[in-house]
Amino acid sequence: MTKKYRSILLAVTALSVLASEACGKKLPDHGDQATAAAVFQETVAEMNGERILAEPAKDSAELLPADRIYRIFYEEAKKTGASYDLKTTERMVASLGKNGYAAVDSGNQVNMEGADQVLEFCKMADSKKASELTVIVVDGWDAFTAYDLETQDGDIRITRTCHQMDESGNFQRESRVSYPASFWQYTEEGYLLLEGSYFSEEEYALTLSDGQEHIALRVQPLDEQCREWNRQYILPVGYGENNLFLSNWSENDYEELDFYDLFDVFYPCLYEQPVPFTVVEEEGTGTSYQIPENIWEQVIMTYFDIDRENLRSKTAYLPEVSAYEYRPRGIDEAEYPEIPYPEVVSCAENQDGTVALTVNAVYPYENTSRSFSHKTVIRILEDGSFQYVSNEIISPKEELNIWWHSDRLENP
């Protein structure tokens, strides 16, 4: 891909993302529980396109389907004070499951509730029989997306409706689109994948194309230990603007690693603040810094067992000023906005005390729950910290096609 084509592609994609944003995130401040209760009393349900006041009933079974979902979100907001974390997500998904819904979170980070409903729907679609299914995807304590799926003669139609709580505490239907699935598959990794396109006047005005949607819903549960390994050691790095998990390397051979990108990744982890060495607009990609050796080496050597001499030989070390020359990424090194995300699917302890994690790259944009796989080895240290030991691409066997990734054009 040429630099000119990449720049045009990124510009068009950015406009497309803005135009097709499904559900915006607004976090109203509801204050104490009394205020939250009052907010819920005014919650608005949408029925037949009209705004109808929904009041809580004594028995949740008496509530209309949409109202029942709103009640779950209200109860969670009252309990947490409108905070949102993994535990909140788990409780909300579990509550939706208890109310009879198939439900999962938007990041596929908790196990799906009602997975049997999805499996049955896929079975019916595969048999070309008629069936319906609704999957609720939790986007936050104040937002959710409902996917209503219908199948007939092996074809699937998708209706996606986004619900968002506004600043007044009322749930509003942010958007709704309906379109046929041009692709669907239940994968051996346990995902339901769906793709389709729909017409949007706003998006067409920006991109001269229809809106596209790629849906990836993890149906089968994952081992909780694998999820924990992923959250601690793989997800924080991911596949964006670094090649830690995109190349083959080991402690005996760091040749493939870009330590400049890894400095960008690990500086915020270590110092709990953004990297302060950013592009100066007037200088553009020519911006350069001299980072004191103690800062640079502390960041890299915290996460890798590499000696100073080896690290300095692979970077631009300036002995006369005891610093490393560093140039931040510029706009020409931007990556495609849609990239895979990692998912640890198995783990094994080695005899030397290291842990080997097998990771699948899930890539909804390419309709695959395993774009590639890699084995990453980590070392847990006595003080609870850890180091990355090696990474090996195990699938595909041929050259890895990471077209969405951009290497740095040049290093100092």
Q: For residue 10, is pLDDT > 70?
A: no
Predicted confidence (pLDDT) per residue in 318-357, tens digit? 999 999 999 998 888 889 999 999 999 999 999 998 999 9
Confidence of residue 174 (pLDDT cuts 50, 70, 90): confident
> How many whole angstroms separate alpha carbon 270 and alpha carbon 338?
27
Q: For residue 286, is pLDDT > 70?
A: no
**Quick one: pLDDT at residue 313?**
95
Residues counted in the chain: 412
Mean pLDDT of the chain: 83
Buried/exposed code over 99-136 (b: 16+ C-beta within 10 A; e: otherwise): bebbbbbbebbbbbbbbebbbebbebbeeeeebebbbb
Q: For residue 108, is pLDDT > 60?
A: yes
Question: Which run of H or E residues covers position 309?
Answer: helix 308-313
CB-based contact 402:246 (threshold 8 Å): yes
| pTM beyond cutoff 0.85 | no
Helix, coil or strand: residue 149: strand
Contacts of residue 278, defined as CB under 8 A and 6 or more positions apart, other chains included, come to 287, 328
> How many whole angstroms separate alpha carbon 273 and alpha carbon 280?
19
